[in-house]
Amino acid sequence: MTSKLSYNLVKLPLITPFTTSFGTQLDRVAYVFTLENEGITAYSESTTDVDPFYSYEDNITAMHMIKDYFSKEISDLPTPAAFMERVEHIKGHNMAKAALEMLLWDYHSKSSGISLHKYLGKSKGYADVGISIGMLEDDKLVPTIMNAVNKGYKRIKLKISRGKEARILSAARLSFPDIVLSTDANCDYRLEDLEMLKSLDQYNLAYLEQPLGHDDIVDHASLRQSMSTPLCLDEAITSPDLAREAFQIDAVDIVNIKPGRVGGLLNSLKIAEIVHNYGGHCWVGGMLETGVGRAFNIALASNQLVDLPGDTSPNEKYFSKDIVRNVFKMEKGTISPFESPGIGVIVDTEYLSMMSTAKGEIPI
């Protein structure tokens, strides 16, 4: 077969710097992969970033794993399930695996002539949308929330960090007593901060996202017992097994599913199923993806098992110009996935090339 795998490392400036407890991001720097075979062009995006601050993976580790281990497993264009079986013995590196797994999903749904959300099955045909708002200067917080509420977002999530939580959440609640509000600590607390974390119950949050360690579920189980606010896990759920274990030990109410973090869409669907079977809830998160990664997230978020609004804002929240020609529009707090085959995005190859700091081919 004459398939070709290539990559672009794009650097797109964010409209607003994005500050979490682990740092401030000014640009989205992402590997975009292209797979060409017999007239079909498939795309994917690695959710890794320059720094290993959200998880241990970064762009360089992802490229190493893809070049040295994973790319050779896609030359015969296996199904995503077959690919995942072949790489199962390679530990971790879920974001790198996911980049190729999702490339195969786009390829196979395109070669079947079916849109990805339908190809995945059980689609509602739309995704409910919330917004993730990074930490801002005090005077910008309330206007930013106001703007998001006016745009119709169905849930507002505010990033917090140790020591800043009360200022941020009390300011938000004072101005917006009734909005659906959640907060994300990105692992900034420890169980010793129990009193501070318990004090968050007063803000009537839809949930508290990932307060404790990135690889912890046991302390989260203790914390959950002491709080009335539902607990959502993000970083800590890196596999279907960990999702099951977290529910088994009562460590979680809600899972933020990110296909990159869990090794792709197949594992994402498995996790959604597990969450559902345990009576939990889930939503699809994001990693500030370009229009390519965003299209996968929105297709997944359209699944019937995804029952809460996710962090899948329209492209315009992130970039003044995206690398795709067709951007998502939000209407009444929902976004519809594209109906053309695969992820359905039309990549602006000229702009992609212009914004690339590196590009190349990976022999397969």
Phi/psi of residue 212, each to 5°? -105, -165
Residues 6 or more apart whose Cβ sits within 8 Å of residue 10: 28, 29, 30, 31, 32, 290, 323, 352, 355, 356, 357
Half-sphere exposure of 316 (CA within 13 A, CB side): 8
Binding of residue 54 to ligand OSB (CB under 6 A): yes
Stretch that binds ligand OSB, among 2-10, 30-38, 63-71, 283-291 (CB under 6 A): 283-291
Q: Looking at 97, 110, 159, 317, which residue is catalytic? A: 159
Which residue, among 54, 10, 102, 26, has the nearest Cα to 318 in the 3D structure?
26
Using CB under 6 A, pick the residue from 130, 211, 259, 286 that binds ligand OSB: 286
- Residue 216's binding partner among Mg ion, ligand OSB, none (Cβ under 5 to 8 angstroms by kind) is none
Using CB under 6 A, pick the residue from 216, 253, 311, 322 that binds ligand OSB: 311
Annotated catalytic residue 159 = yes
Size of the site for Mg ion (CB under 5 A): 3
Question: Taking the mean position of all CA atoms in its chain, how far away is CA 268?
Answer: 11
Kindly list the strands in the beta sheet with 254-257, ordered across the sheet, starting from the edge strand earlier in the chain.
131-133, 156-159, 181-184, 208-209, 231-233, 254-257, 281-284
Using CB under 5 A, pick the residue from 128, 216, 219, 234 that binds Mg ion: 234
Residues 6 or more apart whose Cβ sits within 8 Å of residue 240: 262, 267, 270, 271, 274
Binding of residue 187 to ligand OSB (CB under 6 A): no
Ramachandran area for residue 70 (φ above 0: left; ψ -120 to 50: alpha; else beta): alpha
- Of 101 and 234, the one with the shorter C-beta distance to ligand OSB is 234
CB of 311 to ligand OSB, least distance (A): 4
Binding of residue 48 to ligand OSB (CB under 6 A): no
Binding of residue 311 to Mg ion (CB under 5 A): no
- Of 229 and 313, the one with the shorter C-beta distance to ligand OSB is 313
- Residue 219's binding partner among Mg ion, ligand OSB, none (Cβ under 5 to 8 angstroms by kind) is none
Q: Looking at 97, 258, 270, 317, which residue is catalytic? A: 258
- Of 87 and 158, the one with the shorter C-beta distance to ligand OSB is 158
- Of 132 and 268, the one with the shorter C-beta distance to ligand OSB is 132
- Residue 132's binding partner among Mg ion, ligand OSB, none (Cβ under 5 to 8 angstroms by kind) is ligand OSB
CB atoms < 10 A from the CB of 221, how many?
Answer: 16
What does the alpha-carbon distance between residue 260 and residue 280 come to, in Å, rounded to a whole number?
21
Per DSSP, 336 falls in state P
Binding of residue 58 to Mg ion (CB under 5 A): no
Annotated catalytic residue 321 = no
Which positions from 130 to 169 touch ligand OSB by CB under 6 A, shown as an x/- string?
--x-------------------------------------
As given in the structure block, the two tokens for residue 151 are 């745009």
CB atoms < 10 A from the CB of 47, how many?
Answer: 29
- Of 37 and 334, the one with the shorter C-beta distance to ligand OSB is 334
What does the alpha-carbon distance between residue 245 and residue 50 come to, in Å, rounded to a whole number?
31
Binding of residue 165 to Mg ion (CB under 5 A): no
SS (H, E, C) 36-59: EECCEEEEEECCCCCCCCCCCCCH
Using CB under 6 A, pick the residue from 57, 165, 184, 322 that binds ligand OSB: 184
Size of the site for ligand OSB (CB under 6 A): 11
Would you say 105 and 296 are in contact if contact means Cβ atoms under 8 Å apart?
yes
CB of 76 to ligand OSB, least distance (A): 33
The catalytic residue positions are: 159, 258
Binding site for ligand OSB (CB under 6 A): 54, 132, 184, 186, 234, 285-288, 311, 313
Binding site for Mg ion (CB under 5 A): 184, 209, 234
